[in-house]
Structure 1
Amino acid sequence: MFRPLALSLTLLSPVSAVETTFVNPIAEGADPWVTKYGNQYVWCASEGNRGISLWVSDRLTSLGQKHVIWTAPESGPYAKEVWAPEVHLLDGRWHVYFAASDGNNANHLAYVLQSRDSDPLSPYTLHGPFNTGDGADGKSPNIWAIDMTVLEVGGKRYALWSGWDAPGTDQQFLYIAPMKSPTELSGPRVLLAKNDEHLWERTEEKLESRGLAEGPQILQQGGRTFVTYSTAASWLPTYKLGLLELTGKDPLDPKSWTKSPQPVFQSTELTYGTGHSCFVKSLDEKEWWHVFHAKRDRQGGWRRAIFVQPFTFGADGLPDFGKPVSPGAALPFPSGESLPTPELPVTADFTKGHPKGFSYYGHLQFLNFEKDGMHLGTVPAHPVNDYRSGEKLVLDGGDFTDIEATTTVRYVKGDRDAGILFRVTAPSVGFDAQRGYFAGIIPRDGSVVLGKMDGSNWKEIARAKADIPANATHELGVTARGPEIKVTLGGKEVLTASDSTYTSGTVGLRVVDTHVSFGELKVKPLAGK
């Protein structure tokens, strides 16, 4: 059944596995939101437009562990199109602001979830919709609203959002209103700024195209209050950031806001469609970091990924965001942040949920934890801007040399590669966006494969024939001692090879265009020399 295969490749220079940098993009997603809470970060994300999840992490460069906090009903005014959630700690409770509709975009309104207490993972109750329309009551009629956020200044609290100027117009402007409480507005909306004063605010940057303003985000520093906003077209590379500053005393007076005459953050040749930002400090509070999304494709659409990069303030007190970092470029970790240093042996039982210390890289809808284990490459029931990217779950900070790693693999749908990553560094979103090795099984052509990646390219090292029934659970193993690598299937050696490109790194699991359930991952050091 198994035909061992042995070969040697030309040895390349070793690559250090010491991780002092990370690589963008750090995750799939759009409209990212993260807030610092003690020594942790709480990320907020739409759960396939049908719910909301919080991801808790001890690092800004990883989403961390996933927790679904709310699932939309099957039908009703807030059952679908759950967009751009943000989580804020206000008055001792967490509040998740989001937009939702009945499936018709014209019916989008703003809602908020309120936690039971100061624990971000405590139960939530739904409030809303907010009265974001015209008239003294804000609902005569209520009008389309998305991207709600909260501004606190001068001891008062305000809501900002992107709304239509009238029902059905599809013309987006920035609005502001005072808040009575975290769950209720106390006054009518006020138009904060026009959306087409500059050519760069128009969707296609042409006079004949319309203006568009959305995604307002608060940035406060040195006693000054700024609001960035996303403008032009979210579905095109023209998406960018504009800037407003509160230069007057009354935030409800449009004359109190001064608009920058130029965009403050926009596309490059390699990173484009940049926008819907948020801003957060490093763990030690010494650095400001910019979190934003960028498009995966130049053509129209909303397939996006999340980037993080530092920024500063200039001598004039204005934020200087610089240029968006390129995909694959290494950046130093945020100040005060470092990878953990896990020790062997490591055992991850995926039947118990998302284990702490493992980071996911891929479209958020392609990861799920069920009773039988981790489903990697899950085909979404309701796909939203989905794309495949060699989905992977990677152990944070592992720096292992000689190891034995085993996992159990059950194919749910598909027949492509699934298996073990080892001696891996610099993981990111992308099929081959990591440095290191991969050993996997491929049922469609009955083979076991071993290969390596350099961050953007794949090179096969060895391949062997094997019997891989699609309806069975397979035990896949890898042994790496120095340059010698062995791959086993069902405890039997099926492939051996020699390659010394990578000498150490972490471990993980990966799939290629297929849906697999992994029950566990075990990693232990090799005994002796």
Structure 2
Amino acid sequence: MKSMYKFAPLVAGISVVLGACAAAGSLSTPDRKEVATFTNPLLSSGPDPWVTQEGGVYYYTHTLGDRIGLWRTRDITDLNYVEYRTVWTPPAHGPNAHSIWAPELHRLNRKWYLYYSATASDFKDDAHRGVFVLENESIDPFQGKWVDRGRVNTARAGIDGTVFEHRGTLYFAYSPYLDAISGIALARLSDPWTIAGNEVVIAKADQPFEDQGGRQIMEGPEFLAGPDGQVFLTYSAGACWSDNYALGLLRADGSNLLSPTAWTKSPAPVLSSGNGVFATGHNGFFRSPDGREQWIVFHGNPEAKMGCTARRAPYLSRVRWTASGEPKIDQPSSPHTRIAKPGGTTQR
């Protein structure tokens, strides 16, 4: 029904134009290609959003709290009209029974992996939070069996695990609790769920923009490769219940990523509240269908003082690169403002 209502006015318009052209005899008009657009937010709810691309298909997920679900589409801007499936529900008891947060889907070694944060049953405190991994050997993540590979063997309790490959090495990054604050830790992996060697805290919350809502927080690290091979990690800064929740940026200089001195922190956020969107944080990166554009997905609130709830919604913004190779993220577009879809997106 959606397609019928969307295209019927277009067909009618074409008929009128063709009729006018016939009456005018030699009248002709140049071909025009309509620019496809979309509006933010993509959904009315979607905290901690994540996007993965594989074979021209986008897989999307976000925090649901009591399960992990996947959305599948070729048009990431149209999540209201795509296939959805719940792929995993937690056990009733155990270390990963509650508070299923921040899932991420990754394709590694021809298998699918889901990383997610969870809390042990009967606990709600930070000391009982960890990052866990599910594995699926199927080509299609909507099919096959998801095997519980347990908790990543981090040295500390923490949340928001992610993985990335750099120069042939698989790395794991997460946000450990460091007494009253949190930071970003990094380690090598011997397999997708096992840390090999020591993990290193590469950054701690120590900037004013990381001290919001009553807590000094760095969380949600995400990898971004620069245009000339640079290594960046974005992260969410401050407490998620603050309107000033924002994205910070770490940049690695040198090849030894496990050295804290290799990392430089930007002194100001790279994405913050604006245009009527508040608490911009927890993100992921993907490329446009034609591969030419870098994009970011993040969550935000369409009003102030909405807090850290399921009402946080997913937004998209374009990522551009400065002459010095630094990422520059477009400010969030105001709700209902139409912007161009990622390049190469097929119109419905």
Match of 1:293 in 2: 299
How many Å separate the matches in 1 of 2:104 and 2:197? 22
1:260 maps onto 2:266 in alignment: yes
How many Å separate the matches in 1 of 2:188 and 2:165? 10
Q: CA deviation at 1:170?
A: 5.0
SS of the residue 1:309 aligns to:
strand
User: Contact conserved, 2:235 with 2:282, CA < 8 A, in 1?
Assistant: yes
Structure 2: any 5+ residue segments left out of the alignment? 1-12, 14-33
1:221 maps onto 2:221 in alignment: no
How many Å separate the matches in 1 of 2:312 and 2:318? 20
1:40 maps onto 2:62 in alignment: no
Work out which of the residue numbers 178, 196, 208 in structure 2 matches 1:199. Answer: 208
Q: CA deviation at 1:76?
A: 2.1
Match of 1:111 in 2: 132
Work out which of the residue numbers 52, 56, 62 in structure 1 matches 2:78. Answer: 62
User: 1:430-445 to 2 correspondence within 5 Å?
Assistant: none
Provide, for residues 362-384 of structure 1, a one-character-per-residue CA deviation record: whole Å limited to 9, x for no partner. Answer: xxxxxxxxxxxxxxxxxxxxxxx
Q: CA deviation at 1:269?
A: 4.9
How many Å separate the matches in 2 of 1:221 and 1:75? 42
Work out which of the residue numbers 300, 303, 312 in structure 2 matches 1:304. Answer: 312
> Which residue identity lines up with residue 285 of structure 1 in the other structure?
G
1:334 maps onto 2:347 in alignment: no
Match of 1:407 in 2: none
Match of 1:324 in 2: 332
Work out which of the residue numbers 148, 151, 154 in structure 2 matches 1:132. Answer: 154
Work out which of the residue numbers 92, 110, 127 in structure 2 matches 1:74. Answer: 92
User: Contact conserved, 2:276 with 2:303, CA < 8 A, in 1?
Assistant: no
Match of 2:117 in 1: 99
User: Contact conserved, 1:236 with 1:298, CA < 8 A, in 2?
Assistant: no
User: Contact conserved, 1:19 with 1:339, CA < 8 A, in 2?
Assistant: no
How many Å separate the matches in 2 of 1:271 and 1:40? 28
Q: Which structure is larger by alpha-carbon Rg, 1 or 2?
A: 1
Provide, for residues 304-337 of structure 1, a one-character-per-residue CA deviation record: whole Å limited to 9, x for no partner. Answer: 0000121211111100103111111101121111
How many Å separate the matches in 2 of 1:213 and 1:127? 26
Work out which of the residue numbers 13, 23, 32 in structure 1 matches 2:39. Answer: 23
User: 1:166-177 to 2 correspondence within 5 Å?
Assistant: 169-177=179-187
SS of the residue 1:188 aligns to:
strand
How many Å separate the matches in 2 of 1:312 and 1:99? 30
> Which residue identity lines up with residue 218 of structure 1 in the other structure?
F
> Which residue identity lines up with residue 220 of structure 1 in the other structure?
A
Provide, for residues 7-37 of structure 1, a one-character-per-residue CA deviation record: whole Å limited to 9, x for no partner. Answer: xxxxxxxxx9x88211110112111100111
User: Contact conserved, 2:136 with 2:145, CA < 8 A, in 1?
Assistant: yes
> Which residue identity lines up with residue 213 of structure 1 in the other structure?
M
**Aligned pairs, number:** 306
How many Å separate the matches in 1 of 2:74 and 2:216? 39
Work out which of the residue numbers 322, 332, 335 in structure 2 matches 1:314. Answer: 322
User: Contact conserved, 1:242 with 1:264, CA < 8 A, in 2?
Assistant: yes
For normalisation by structure 1, the TM-score amounts to: 0.56
How many Å separate the matches in 2 of 1:276 and 1:92? 27
How many Å separate the matches in 1 of 2:92 and 2:339? 43
Provide, for residues 345-404 of structure 1, a one-character-per-residue CA deviation record: whole Å limited to 9, x for no partner. Answer: xxxxxxxxxxxxxxxxxxxxxxxxxxxxxxxxxxxxxxxxxxxxxxxxxxxxxxxxxxxx
1:123 maps onto 2:136 in alignment: no
> Which residue identity lines up with residue 247 of structure 1 in the other structure?
D
Provide, for residues 444-495 of structure 1, a one-character-per-residue CA deviation record: whole Å limited to 9, x for no partner. Answer: xxxxxxxxxxxxxxxxxxxxxxxxxxxxxxxxxxxxxxxxxxxxxxxxxxxx
Per the alignment, do residues 183 and 118 of structure 1 end up closer, same or farther by CA in structure 2, a change over 3 Å counting? farther
SS of the residue 1:255 aligns to:
helix
User: Contact conserved, 1:88 with 1:94, CA < 8 A, in 2?
Assistant: yes
How many Å separate the matches in 1 of 2:317 and 2:202? 28
User: Contact conserved, 1:248 with 1:255, CA < 8 A, in 2?
Assistant: no
Greater helix content: 2
User: Contact conserved, 1:49 with 1:82, CA < 8 A, in 2?
Assistant: yes
Q: CA deviation at 1:338?
A: 2.7
How many Å separate the matches in 2 of 1:333 and 1:301? 28
How many Å separate the matches in 2 of 1:236 and 1:269? 17
Structure 1: any 5+ residue segments left out of the alignment? 1-15, 134-142, 341-529
SS of the residue 1:187 aligns to:
strand
User: 1:340-351 to 2 correspondence within 5 Å?
Assistant: 340=348
Q: CA deviation at 1:297?
A: 3.9
SS of the residue 1:117 aligns to:
coil
